[in-house]
Every structure is written in C-alpha cells, then in structure tokens.
Structure 1
Amino acid sequence: MKQPARPENIKAVPVRHPGRWAGAVVILVLLAMLLHALFQNKAFQWDVFAKYFFDSSILHGLTVTLELTALAMLMGVVGGILLAVMRLSPNPLLSGTAWIYIWFFRGTPVLVQLVIWFNLGALWPSLSLGVPFGPAFWSENTNTLIPVFVAALLGLGLNEAAYMAEIVRGGIQSVDEGQAEASHALGMSRFVTMRRIVLPQAMRVIIPPTGNETISMLKTTSLVSVIALEELFRAGQNIYSRTFQTIPLLIVVSVWYLLLTSLLTVGQYYIERHYARGSNRALPPTPIQRIRALFQGRPTPPPVPPVTNSGVHGGGNLS
C-alpha cells in the first residue's frame, strides 16, 4: 500500500502590525517634544522649583494635607460602615435616616459644605449640652469649639462617609446571603456575623474603591484653601502671591501631589494583594518580582483565576 505523501512544512509568516509601529513613533516624537519644552522653556524656572521644593512653608502645608487626608478618611470609613449597616437594617427609621444622610451629603458640593462648617457660628453663636428644650449644663463659643482645621475635617470627613457608605453597602451585598444565614443558624448575633463573617469577605470588593477615595481625598484637601487653612496648595499660593513666581510654585505643589498619590497607589496594590489571598491560588506578582523576572529573562506568570465553590475553574462540577 502506497504511503501518503508527507505534507509540506507550513511557512508561517508573522502578522505585521504597521499601525503599532506608527503609533510608537508618534508617541516617541511627542515625548521628545515634551521634554524639549520642559527643559528649554525658561519660564518653568527650574531653579525656583528647586529652591522652594523643600521650603518650610511647603513642608508644613504637606503635613497638614497628610493629617487632613488620614483623619478625614478615618472618619469617612467608620461613618461609612455605620451608615451602611443602618441602610441595610430592617428598621425603617434607621434605614431612612441613613438614606437621608447619604442623599444630603452626596447631593451638595463638598466646597459648599466646607464653607458652611466654617461659618457655623453665624447660625449658632454657641453650642451647648443640656436637657433637650431645657436648661444647658455646658456652653462654648462655636468659633472656639470649631476652629479652621476642625471645620475642614468635618466638611471632608462627613462628606466622605456618605460615599463610603455606598461602597461598604455594595461590598456587604456582594457576599452570599447563605453565609449570614449559616452563621445565624450557629447562634451568632447580627453584629458578630457582620464583623467576623461578612465584612472580611466584603473587603475584596471594598478595598479598591476605598483606595481610589483615599487618593481623591488627598487632592480634595486643596479645597480647604477657601477657608484659609494653609495646606499644601495654600502654602504654594501664599509664596507665589509674594514672589509672583506662579508657575514654578504650582509645579512644586503638583510634584508633591504626584509623589503622594504614587505612594498611595503602591500601598493600595499591596493591600488588595493581601485580601486576594482567599480567592486566588497564586497571588499576583509584586512590582519588584516583575522587575526581577524582566531582568532574568523569565516571563511573569499570570495570576491563577479564582477557584469557585465547586472546586474547579469555570464553575464545573466533579461528577
């Protein structure tokens, strides 16, 4: 019997992508033009930038910005968790109160809220504690009780709580209801179930938008300059209003914001990686691991997809 002829070897021709090369050339040309403009245009005044980058006023404003960001986010996260639990409560009074709070603080600009807190003394010259509709046991001047920093913190933190409430509520609702039902069947209270069962699993959904909110809060602190609190942006404003060197001072402020947001982005990545341990068999590589693999000539392995409850990828079953 005659043997069939062996087929000829396939001559594989790689697909050409001229569009990619053209796009890369355009980007390189634009990058070269940008670098040329940055270093050849004397209006940028890089010597002034270097002079004020570590100026004491700038560093003081940077400290105030970091304090505001940390405290406002702490207030927002704690308040958001409380509001989310209230919103999901079967009690209509609690859920209704949480809904009205979220509706009001998300519906009005944070800049307006900051100005209202700063001028609260115009509505109530003094704040007091005592019997409702009765005598007061303690009273204090409103402007003394709520200085500029506290007004800024209240404006940012209470507004953030409304947004965090929706983020936390979405994370809680992403957890299967059977988890809570099983914990109730084991005798756990609603509070214990929320703290030990639901919230730890909801963190994988809550963390990414919370990181984005933190970065956004860092930049939103610049709005407190309207109530004369000297944070990073206000410190730059105070300097260029004296020296009339506006552009280099704005670059100083922008570079500090870029550095801080970059650090927060790295921190967010590692926090997300930490909470991904329960859903992925192999954690995604860290930036250092990616760089090491690049120099060693080894491709970075992609993260393994999460394993479903059935025990296999893609939701099949073992039977």
Structure 2
Amino acid sequence: MSFEYFNTILMPMLEGAQMTVLLFLIAILVSIPLGFLLTLMARSSIRPVAWLAQIYIYVMRGTPLLLQLLFICFGLPMLPVIGEYLVMDRFVAACLGFILNYAAYFAEIFRGGLLAIDKGQYEAAQVLGLNKWQTMTRVILPQMFRVALPAVSNESVTLVKDTALLYAVAVPELLHYAQTAVNRDFTIMPFLFAGIIYLLITLFLTILFKWLEKRFKFQ
C-alpha cells in the first residue's frame, strides 16, 4: 500500500470523522440536560408528568436506536396530514433521533445517581437552613454527578460508536467513506483505518472523563 493510496482514502474518512464528531457533540450537549430534566419529571409529585416521563424513558430505551432513526427519517414524513411538515434534513433528523434516545439513557443514569445519595444529606441541609434550591444545587447535584460520571463516560463512548448508524439513513460519515473505499478497491484496509479513528476518538473521551472523575473525587 503506497503513501499516495493511504492519503487518498484517509482524507475522505477524516471528512466523515468530522461528521461523526459533530453529531456526537450535538447529541451529548443536548441529551445530558434533557436527560436530567426527564429525571426531574419522572420524580415529580404531579402524577401525569411523572407517568409521561416514565413512559417516554421506557419506550426510548425499549426500542432500537436504528428503528427510531428510520422512523424519524422515513416514517414521520409518511404520517397523514402533518407528514409533509415533518420532512427534515437527514443529518438534522439523525441528531434529533440520537438526542431523544440518549436523553432517556442519561435520565436513568441520573436517577441512579440521585438514589445513591443518602437521605441524611437532605436532612443535614435542612439543619443548616438551606432551602430546596440551595440543597439541590450545593449539596445534591455535585454528589449526583460524581456518582453518575463513570456511567456517563461509558454512555458517551457508546454514543461515539453508535454514530455509525448514520450510515443506515444515508448520512455520509466515517463508516460510509470506509465502506465506499472497500467496495471500490477490494481491500479491508479502510475498515482498519476507520477502526483506528474510532479508537482515537474514544481514547480522547476516556482520558477526558478519567480526568473529570479524579477532579470530582477530590472536591
């Protein structure tokens, strides 16, 4: 394999990797706060709100992400009456699918983080004269994020790998360019390069979250 061939297949794959990273950033930055909001809704004392959030989480976690992407990209436009207004750019539709799906997973992670906090923490905050907002922001949330961080890290790495599902809805990303090169040149080397790029991205994330875990651990 010549350097010229390496350069020929690498440049398009790096273009695809940009799409992969862009989707990851959009999905992670929106789904984490949305997931926390779902956690609060699921714990709400207003029954309909809690039921709605719990049903949403169950449906999104209980059905494949690929099915959700296909439904948003190809199913929504087929709905009677309103379908024509739900036609979206494929990348936008994919971002929406990833956000809605991962928000449900993050909601469960944050729920587990809240359950891990001892009830004595709430009582101690009351003794100190903190109101509900102060208790939540100064006492509960920092501990919750510390507990939830390893699971958030694991889910973030999974999100990077799941971006390969863009290939199924015709959005050109890293795997798309690798598959194109394999079909054209009859060599598995593009798959190897794609694997290395995925590993580099997940390595960066792993190092970042390990640093965050150490920082939160000593706070």
Could you tell me which residue of structure 2 aligns to residue 272 of structure 1? 213
Change (3 A) 1:252 1:93: same
Q: Does residue 142 of the first structure (1) align with residue 86 of the second (2)?
A: yes
Unaligned residue ranges in structure 1 (runs of 5+): 1-44, 128-139, 279-319
Could you tell me which residue of structure 1 aligns to residue 10 of structure 2? 54
Q: Does residue 162 of the first structure (1) align with residue 117 of the second (2)?
A: no
Q: Does residue 121 of the first structure (1) align with residue 62 of the second (2)?
A: no
Shift of 1:229: 0.3
Q: Which protein is richer in helix relative to its size?
A: 2
Shift of 1:183: 3.2
Separation of aligned partners in 1, 2:25 and 2:184: 30
Shift of 1:91: 2.1
Matched position secondary structure for 1:141: helix
Letter in 1 for 2:138: R
Shift of 1:54: 3.3
Could you tell me which residue of structure 2 aligns to residue 96 of structure 1? 51
Pairing partner for 2:150 from 186, 198, 208:
208
Separation of aligned partners in 2, 1:267 and 1:113: 29
Change (3 A) 1:264 1:178: same
Shift of 1:199: 0.7
Matched position secondary structure for 2:61: helix
Shift of 1:48: 7.5
Q: Does residue 260 of the first structure (1) align with residue 201 of the second (2)?
A: yes
Q: Does residue 175 of the first structure (1) align with residue 131 of the second (2)?
A: no
Correspondences of 1:54-93 after superposition (within 5 Å): 54-55=10-11, 57-93=12-48
Separation of aligned partners in 2, 1:205 and 1:48: 48
Separation of aligned partners in 2, 1:80 and 1:202: 13
Change (3 A) 1:148 1:77: same
TM-score by length of 1: 0.63
Change (3 A) 1:167 1:104: same
Could you tell me which residue of structure 2 aligns to residue 249 of structure 1? 190
Deviations 1:187-227 (A, max 9, x none): 513x4432222111112211101011111100000011111
Letter in 2 for 1:75: V
Separation of aligned partners in 2, 1:176 and 1:85: 18
Letter in 1 for 2:66: L
Shift of 1:125: 6.0
TM-score by length of 2: 0.91
Give the superposed CA RMSD: 2.0
Could you tell me which residue of structure 2 aligns to residue 188 of structure 1? 131
Q: Which runs of 4+ in 1 moved over 6 A?
A: none
Matched position secondary structure for 1:54: helix
Aligned-pair identity (%): 35
Separation of aligned partners in 1, 2:212 and 2:80: 43
Separation of aligned partners in 2, 1:154 and 1:124: 21
Deviations 1:51-105 (A, max 9, x none): 34631x2121111100111111122211110111112222222221111011100
Change (3 A) 1:232 1:88: same
Contact 1:61 1:230 in 2 (8 A): yes
Separation of aligned partners in 2, 1:239 and 1:79: 38
Could you tell me which residue of structure 1 aligns to residue 173 of structure 2? 231
Contact 2:9 2:181 in 1 (8 A): no
